[in-house]
Structure 1
């Protein structure tokens, strides 16, 4: 049975990251973060609550410069800093009361799912890792996504990214870009399945969510290729790929799963947000089974915690 979550803080770099801690009952902990520009609440609430009701502790955090975490300038999200935030979160999770440091897993989706490959490669002592609809190869995803954008809007997006990059050098305020939009608008993603984000992540429940990110951060994401380190992941790894994913693409995720020595691959029908929508039960059941097998003892698996309804 789940316990009321508690707001906690941990230090990363020179700032504080804010997180929700869901105390668990079985000694294992799942560390979670939302997608790129997605705070902890819309990005993790649905899965975190259910993992917790199954007995797992959960630590769901905001990256620096977004959500409730500290840091300036806001909405500037360098990949290197996000990876450092993961390291800080892992260190903090090991100090949480009731958590066995040897029974920690990491979970991310979309761009954070891509981070999971690097985080797991750097932390071979993790008990398990889950990459859900991961952005495994930005160089492959970017030209595919551009097919759903109009040329002039794509040019304006690139120009804004370059201007923002130069502005960052001289300390100017970030130029923000919406995470998603209709084709013809200046937005990071205009793929058909990106427009499912409001419904999938329940935008109406989180009115404070700023769905914009610094253009410089989004431009750099197009060159991010974390799936290339999959062969160095030594812990059990679950890759959940969506077969009609137009935003992150399933192909690079599937290839990364095949390269990781201890990977399991689950393929779901649907687009990028299918694990939050029509394929939620299948995604959750696969992930919960994986966590139980790799984080719990046989006796604990035989006595699972109470699960919630979807």
Structure 2
């Protein structure tokens, strides 16, 4: 049974859930979602449950303006805002009963996989990092997106950024769409992606203003500052977090390790691959942090 926890991040109330490993002091894994993700999506809840079953406390949470957390306007990705939310979640985890505050592990997927590297570069008390299909800058060419589609996306990004300056409501677009559709992420496996994300709070909706911030965001630039062990799990067929960009996090981290899987980005949320990857991640946890 997951226990609800609350914490404040820059004055915004964030909601999370603790899955406990029991009454003995144990490490705690803080799980961070990807772009537009929420903590109740099936793959994230399943991984949190597997981590807890392996003997670790597991904390999931929603970033500001997503899921159960407060924050307006809704469905807006803020890089610095989400990094502040992760730092606040880590501090909340350190205060929880039976959590060993010296053994906090960060786990992140997609955009969250990039975030956890940056968060650990800023907080050297983090004991270990697991970065799954991490964002480390946009690929030069996006599968399923033509030059015309790219121009349309850039135009709506500029429009939404202008709306932000005027304090108008966002100009929302789908987070995941089919090839040729105006969406943040596009690809032929869009229906499988949406099915894998389906939950009570997830919305296939995003404010494109957040992409402007992401254009300048490269977690690999600070990976060399991460002092703890880092496991980076990538897909060799990933068109969103390309293998070249994602692997850079492992190569630049002083204690980085790389594991490759013959899979695309959204395959990591299918149950069979998710379980196999999670087993490797738990083995890494046992090796570097005990439990």
**Structure 1 length normalisation: TM-score?**
0.88
| Shift in Å, 1:159 | 0.9
Residue aligning to 1:87: 87
Residue aligning to 1:58: 58
Unaligned stretches of 5+ residues in structure 2 = none
| Shift in Å, 1:196 | 3.3
State which of 225, 249, 252 in structure 1 corresponds to 2:242. Answer: 249
1:84-233 alignment runs, 5 A limit: 84-138=84-138, 141=139, 143-145=140-142, 147-193=143-189, 195-201=191-197, 203=198, 206-233=199-226
Distance 1:95 1:116, change over 3 A: same
Residue 212 of structure 1 aligns to a residue whose secondary structure is coil
| Shift in Å, 1:164 | 0.7
- For these two proteins, the number of residue pairs brought into alignment is 287
| Shift in Å, 1:192 | 3.3
* 8 Å contact kept, 2:16–2:60: yes
Residue 101 of structure 2 aligns to a residue whose secondary structure is coil
Question: Equivalents in 2 of 1:158, 1:194: separation in Å?
Answer: 21
| Shift in Å, 1:36 | 0.9
Distance 1:272 1:198, change over 3 A: same
1:138-159 alpha-carbon deviations (Å, 9 max, x no partner) = 3xx2x221x5213333222211
Question: Equivalents in 2 of 1:194, 1:94: separation in Å?
Answer: 38
| Shift in Å, 1:105 | 0.1
* 8 Å contact kept, 1:132–1:241: yes
Q: After superposing the two structures, state which structure 1 stretch, 240-249 or 177-186, moved more.
A: 177-186
User: CA RMSD for the aligned pairs?
Assistant: 1.5
1:39 is aligned to 2:32? no
Residue aligning to 2:17: 20
| Shift in Å, 1:194 | 5.1
1:190-240 alpha-carbon deviations (Å, 9 max, x no partner) = 133555312433x2xx14421111110123323321112111110110000
Question: Equivalents in 1 of 2:190, 2:61: separation in Å?
Answer: 23
* 8 Å contact kept, 1:269–1:279: no
Question: Equivalents in 2 of 1:237, 1:115: separation in Å?
Answer: 13
1:234-287 alpha-carbon deviations (Å, 9 max, x no partner) = 011000011000011111121220111111111111101233224223311110
Question: Equivalents in 1 of 2:53, 2:33: separation in Å?
Answer: 20
Residue aligning to 2:288: 294
**Structure 2 length normalisation: TM-score?**
0.94
